[in-house]
Structure 1
Amino acid sequence: MSAHSPSLLRATGPTYFPIALVARLPYAMMVVGVLTLVVAGRDSLAFGGLSSAMVGLGAACFGPLLGAAADRFGQRPVLLVAGIASTTALGAMAWVVYSPLPGAAVLAVAFVVGASAPQIAPMSRSRLVQLIASRLAPARRERTFDTTMAYESAADEMVFIIGPFLVGILGTALDPWAPVAGAAVVTLVFVTAFALHPTAQVTRAARGGEVEIARAAELARPALLVVIAGILGVGLFFGSMLTSLTAFMDDRGNAEGAGLVYGVMGIGSAVFALGVALFPAAFSLRARWLTFAGVLVAGTAVLPFVESVTGLCVLLLVIGIGVGPTMVTQYSLGALRSPVGRSATVMTMLGSAVIVGQATASAVTGQLADRLGTGAALVVPLGAASVVMVAGLVNWVLSPVAPALRGAALEEQTLVGVAGA
């Protein structure tokens, strides 16, 4: 490969990153949007929590299948079909909640909303990893890989904070159905644009259409399963934190301000997520996981004792330092441990784990807040952080003693090809 190989930005083109960023917004709006809509339309917080949990269940059941289909048939046809199905499901959700149909119909549509959700963030990671492996000079791959994983995690952080914030703004300014309808419009326009972007075909074309896919059994390797468990913990953290913050702010007569307070956490998270690319190679991935999970555990342990909004915001800045780098590390490990030809499958498994955790924790934390009060709800994020830490300890045992040779792993992807584009 020529030493004058293009940068990743030149390989993707200038429109790729803006399209990929906006296209992932509906995924971050689904759980909270459905919760808000159902609570307003059916006047039941418990049923709203159950409905949002059904969204997570749908994503858990079908998200990895969409990834597997993308590995087999390419991202473009899978995303076009999923985008149309998701737009239809979101539109149906906005209608069925206010219809005379029974609750079972609402739950069924909520399940379809999750099942049809286009997996933009995982698909984007899969594309970019393949472009790095196939289009960049070997000397540039490892650093570009680190930077790309850092950016992608920061982008996820951004949309998982902006998404609930947009739900709050649209629901308050317009109507509870507006966030779901808005997500449907964004899905139709930007998911379609993401599917049709030239990067959806470039690596498949480079291999002449040949597809090599590892056996599905390789997805059950312990070293990969522990990464999925760890990122599920991050999803649990997102859901429990937003819901407990809502209860905290509601006690102070400002429940609608929860999204703004939650956004404070994203500042430290995004800054440190992007800073991961500057970490020395000696700071191994397994060590990074434990280090920043430790920050997460320490911060959430203090959470139940905070009494003022100002103190809460300061603590959230600290907690955010632990969130971003942990996600970057987990997605990096997922990319490096993906079996041949299963890149999109693995990335969608990780993405689905986040939303499953978010939906589950939102429902459980909401129930605790209603029955036992805000103090009980504020303990749940510590439990979620503990899941992340325990998974990190298991990962330490399962990881090789020497730091992973990321450049070698990317070189292997160049030689054998990964089919997720």
Structure 2
Amino acid sequence: MTHATPTPQHHAPTPETPGLLRIAGLPYFIIAFIARLPFAMMVVGVLTVVVSARGSLSLGGLTSAAVGLGTACFGPLLGAAADRFGQRTVLLILAIANGAMLVIFTLVVYTGGADALVLIAAFGIGATAPQVAPMSRSRLVTMIADRMPEALRTRTVSGTMAYESAADETVFVFGPFIVGILASALAPWAPLIGAAVLTVVFVGAFALHPSARAVSVHRDEDGRAPSKVSELFSPHLLIVVVGILGVGMFFGTMLTALTSFMADRGAPEQAGLLYGVMGVGSAILALGVAWLPVRFSLRARWLLFSGILLGGSLLLLLVDSPAMMMVALAIMGIGIGPTLVTQYSFGAARSPLGRSATVMTMLGSGIVVGQSLGAAVAGELAENVGTGSALVLPIIAAGVAFTAALVNWPLSATRPRVASV
């Protein structure tokens, strides 16, 4: 059922067994990390440019949403194209197209183009955004399946998903920070031009890395035809998409509600600092998942950590001060990182043969869709009803992730291939 099922040649680790760092090479991880930065800079960079050049926060918000919508609509299609034609070809095209769209968007904004053109250009940025993170996950899982003994695969995949999730969270912390530095030191348009340069150079390097060819060889020489598209819609995989959609909704609703919470106290600019309490803890705990014992199954991890997330979110009903909000965010951070790692691990384990990039982009798009939807609804509630109503939404989002974990429990038991995970 999955792509990671080659006949094992070893049943126990040996001193000669290479680690994933040795298999992929340190340059791979450096290139893949930097290649993620442009996307983390795009949404905030677009908002900064529009607000600066057009003086409209409303248009800036719509433009940022358009970027996310473009990614959500085309992300899975780009993953499917990578599975069909190979990552190298798709990524090289996207590196050039996305770099061009970033420049075009900047020109449209500063030359007085109509608002509709601004939104179309923003959608184009999202639609052509290179799916570096999902494709990196796909590459690494393929390397693990091809080059590592079966006895090490479960732990290595878990550790890999932990690293990848922590890397994503790190770039989404540093991305806006870089935007702020470039916009302040140079000009509001500088972050987008910088993102364009990084996209062409580092996404191009990621495309040309030998690991891209390895994925293509695995696809071409596996000896079996790729799985049917219908297998992407199996209940075992769709429940993971629903769960990760809940995580995305949590991200969007929590940050928006937190901003409203701090605005009520006259310090909206401090929302990012408080949010960082959850982000840092989440990244640390995400990396810690790699050290959990194999007997602590994936389905148990999802249930436990999403339960912690839900429990922490219930404290939002009681918060009345920034200090108490910080405590709630710290508890939620314990749950959110490991939950996300576990969901990606399930996605890797349940990817149909030849569809790993598609599955990873489906999961990545689930986060983007949930985040965009959650932020939009939370913003409307906070502005028209009040912060208290907006703070209920992260609880609902956490409830979606937890409910998906409950549904996943019996589904895992019915799948011999994943019952132990």
Q: TM-score w.r.t. structure 1 length?
A: 0.89
CA distance in 1, matches of 2:417, 2:282: 24
- The equivalent position to 2:47 in structure 1, one of 14, 35, 38, is 35
Q: Deviations over 1:105-147 (max 9, x none)?
A: 1111111111101001100100000000101123322221121
More divergent stretch after superposition (109-118 vs 163-172) = 163-172
Distance 1:282 1:106 in 2: 52
- What's 1:415 paired with? none
In structure 1, the residue matched to 2:77 is 65
Tell me the number of residue pairs that the alignment of Structure 1 and Structure 2 aligns. 408
Kept in 1: contact 2:92–2:203 (CA 8 A): yes
AA partner of residue 169 (structure 2): E
In structure 2, the partner of 1:223 is: 236
* Percent of aligned pairs sharing the same letter: 60
What are the residue-to-residue correspondences of 1:127-142 with 2, within 5 Å? 127-142=139-154
Asked if the contact 1:33–1:179 (Cα under 8 Å) also holds between the matched residues in 2, the reply is: yes
Selected match of 1:112 from 114, 124, 133: 124
Counterpart of 1:275? 288
Q: Which residue does the alignment assign to 1:96?
A: 108
Classify the secondary structure of the residue corresponding to 1:104: helix
Compute the displacement of 1:86 (Å): 1.1
Check whether the contact 1:161–1:259 (CA below 8 A) recurs between aligned residues: no
CA contact (8 A) 1:168 1:256 kept: no
Residue range with higher mean Cα deviation, 357-366 or 269-278: 357-366
Tell me, yes or no, if the aligned pair for 1:161 and 1:262 is still in contact at 8 Å: no
Partner of 1:177: 189
Counterpart Cα distance in 1 of 2:89 and 2:24: 19
Task: Return the match for 1:145 from 157, 161, 176.
Answer: 157
- Assess, with a 3 A threshold, how the Cα gap between structure 1 residues 105 and 334 changes in structure 2: closer, same or farther: same
Find out whether 1:345 has 2:363 as its counterpart. no
Pair 1:386–1:163, CA change in 2 (3 A)? farther
| Corresponding residue of 2:411 | 398
**Alignment partner for residue 319 of structure 1, among 332, 353, 358?**
332
Checking the alignment, whether the CA contact within 8 Å between 1:25 and 1:163 is kept in structure 2 is yes
Asked if structure 2 preserves the Cα contact closer than 8 Å seen for 1:35 and 1:51, the reply is yes
AA aligned to 2:375 is S
Q: Distance in 2 between matches of 1:182 and 1:257?
A: 26
Q: CA deviation at 1:176?
A: 3.7
Q: Which runs of 5+ in 2 are unaligned?
A: 1-8
Query: Could you list the per-position Cα deviations for residues 212-250 of structure 1 after superposition, in whole angstroms to 9, with x for gaps in the alignment?
Result: 311111111111111111111111111222222222333
Deviates more, 1:96-105 or 1:216-225: 96-105
For 1:31 and 1:386, locate their aligned partners in 2 and report how far apart those are by CA, in whole Å: 27
Say if 1:392 and 1:218 are closer, same or farther in 2 by CA, change over 3 A. same
Alignment of 1:78-93 (within 5 A): 78-93=90-105
For the 8 Å contact 1:268–1:320, the answer to whether it is kept is yes
Q: Which moved more, 1:131-140 or 1:342-351?
A: 131-140
1:276-299: CA deviations, max 9, x gaps? 122233322122112111111121
Give, in whole Å, the separation in 2 of the partners of 1:395 and 1:24: 30
Matched residue, 1:22: 34
Given that 2:162 and 2:288 are in contact with CA atoms closer than 8 Å, whether structure 1 keeps it comes out as: yes
Q: Residue 301 in 1 paired to residue 314 in 2?
A: yes
Are residue 75 (structure 1) and residue 107 (structure 2) matched? no
Within 2, Cα distance between the matches of 1:19 and 1:256?
Answer: 32
**Structure 1 residue 159: deviation in Å?**
2.1
- Find out whether 1:8 has 2:31 as its counterpart: no
Q: State the Cα distance separating 1:405 from its structure 2 match.
A: 4.7
Aligned amino acid, residue 137 of structure 1: P
Contact kept, 8 Å, 1:299 with 1:315, in 2: the verdict is yes
Q: Secondary structure at the match of 2:352?
A: coil
Q: Distance in 1 between matches of 2:370 and 2:411?
A: 23
Contact residue 313 and residue 332 of structure 2 kept, 8 A: yes
CA–CA distance in structure 2, aligned partners of residues 324 and 253 of structure 1? 30
Once residues 229 and 358 of structure 1 are traced to their aligned partners in structure 2, the CA distance between those partners, rounded to angstroms, is 13
Distance change in 2, residues 1:173/1:375 (3 Å): farther
Deviation at 1:15, TM superposition (A): 0.8
For 2:172, give the aligned amino acid.
F
For 1:130, the aligned partner's letter is: T
Cα deviation for residue 191 of structure 1 reads 0.9
Contact 2:253 2:378 in 1 (8 A): yes
Relative to structure 1, the CA distance from residue 201 to residue 252 in structure 2 (aligned partners, 3 Å threshold; closer, same or farther) is same
Q: Please, which of 295, 304, 313 is the counterpart of residue 291 of structure 1?
A: 304
The CA RMSD measured in Å over matched residues stands at 2.4
Greater shift after overlay, 291-300 or 203-212?
A: 203-212
Residues 56 and 111, structure 1, Cα contact 8 Å, conserved in 2: yes
